[in-house]
Amino acid sequence: MLSLYTMWRSSAAYRVRIALHVKGLSYTSIPKSFAAAEHKAADYIAVNPQGLIPSLVDDGHVIPQSLAIIEYLDERHPLPHLLPSKALQRAEVRSMALSIACDIHPLNNLRVLNYLRERLGHDQNTVDMWYRHWIAEGFSGFEALCQRYSGDGKHCYGEEITLADVCLVPQVANARRLKCDLSQYPALTAIAQALEAQPAFIAAAPDRQADAPQEK
């Protein structure tokens, strides 16, 4: 029995949803609204003391942190593998994934943007500039890694879906939402576009989630 504390637009939750769908695992979604600060409420802090989304619950055991969750799923449900079998290749895939999950995402997380705006008094233009700067820094390196490691122009690494792809697609979705200029990253954007057309990525997409705002 798998349950996922999620939020439709959370890119870290989006990563986990992609992994669950790639592996064909069924799960129950437990949405938490950021607007209503449900991720900071006592009942969720009791689940995940960091108050961050996502958390996975497997038979009563809670696992926070999207990459820890995905590696756990990959070990418990190995096929299809999200990490290669050889140590060197695994390290290369992880280094791509971490360049997004550790070096881009935390700088542009909601609480960081809120802090810049609400506590440090920056206006929205400055906050957007901050966001786009860290996307540009991170994506320049990631573009070069895609050119080095992609085997077919449709996957970040080799010719199969890996943890790197799982991290890339949500970050590109966020970058588009914040109107970042992605024209300098042709390999990375072509890969994201190819992946977004795959059923597992479609099912995991923010606008497909039950807690996403419904179009009238």
Note the residues at the interface with ligand GSH (CB under 6 A): 10-12, 39, 52-54, 65-67, 101, 109-111
Considering the complex, state which of residue 64 and residue 84 has its C-beta at the smaller distance from ligand GSH. 64
Please say which residue, 10 or 189, places its beta carbon nearer to ligand GSH: 10
The helix-helix angle for 163-177 and 66-76 (nearest 10°) equals: 150
Q: Which is nearer to ligand GSH, 14 or 149 (CB)?
A: 14
Cβ distance 172 to 189 under 8 Å?
A: yes
Q: Between 103 and 194, whose beta carbon lies closer to ligand GSH?
A: 103
Please, which contacts does 143-151 make with residues 24 or more away whose CB atoms are closer than 8 Å? 143/184, 143/185, 143/186, 143/187, 143/188, 145/95, 145/96, 145/99, 146/187, 146/188, 146/191, 147/187, 149/92, 149/96, 150/187, 150/191
CB of 134 to ligand GSH, least distance (A): 14
Among candidates 196, 192, 216, 195, which has minimal Cα distance to 206? 196
Q: Are 131 and 108 in contact (CB under 8 A)?
A: yes
Give one DSSP letter per residue of 43-55, joined into a string.
HHHHH-TT--S-E
C-beta closer to ligand GSH: residue 54 or 84: 54
Supply the minimum distance, in Å, between the C-beta of residue 56 and ligand GSH. 10
Q: What is the closest distance, in whole angstroms, from the C-beta atom of residue 64 to ligand GSH in the complex?
A: 6
Of 94 and 154, CB closest to ligand GSH:
94
CA distance 44 to 131: 28
Residue nearest to ligand GSH (CB): 111
Nearest distance from C-beta of residue 98 to ligand GSH, angstroms: 10
CB 111, min distance to ligand GSH, A: 3
**Least gap, CB of 189 to ligand GSH (angstroms):** 21
